[in-house]
Amino acid sequence: MSPITVTDHTIVQEVTIKAPAERIFNALTRPAELLKWWNCEGKFQLIHAECDVRPGGGWLMRVQGANCRTGQPESVVSGEYRTVDPPTTLEFTWNRKGEDYPESLVRWDLDEKNGCTTVRVTHSGLISEQMRARNNGWSLILQLMHDYLSHDAD
């Protein structure tokens, strides 16, 4: 597992899996498979998934305990597929119901070599890029946050 990178509020995580990319692409796009793996004991568990896997098609997931920090019992996350390019690329928008946060974007890149696949997930637009462009102001918030956190670390 690679270390986390957080740049401009994009989260990038990578893992290498001993399996062909196609196998992983299926695990990411088929509800029956998603339900088998998308959970983490004591933290969160996927309990329902819908995937209309085509550009513009919708997806929806219901996750139990998706946010242990806030103690919220269940969250509904949904969005729309933007890029569906099996078995290498899957991109979709990400909206968490009932929260005021702007829409973000999740991208999966699968790179297969010698039977192993590097899986990279990129979650961008957290504190949305498009909002930053439109209102030209999130950079201030990030700056203030940075000021505060650096001060806090002293």
Contact positions vs another protein (CB under 8 A): 1, 4, 6, 9, 11, 13-15, 17-19, 23-24, 27-28, 36-40, 43-44, 66-67, 69-73, 99-102, 119, 121, 123, 126-127, 131, 135-137, 140-141, 144-145, 147-149, 152
Nearer to another protein, 24 or 81 (CB): 24
**Minimal distance, residue 58 CB to another protein, in Å:** 20
Can you say whether the dihedral through the CA atoms of 128, 132, 137, 142 is positive or negative? positive
Nearer to another protein, 70 or 114 (CB): 70
Nearer to another protein, 56 or 152 (CB): 152
Query: In the β-sheet with 5-7, what is the strand arrangement from edge to edge?
Result: 5-7, 10-17, 116-124, 104-113, 89-96, 72-85, 58-67, 44-51, 39-40
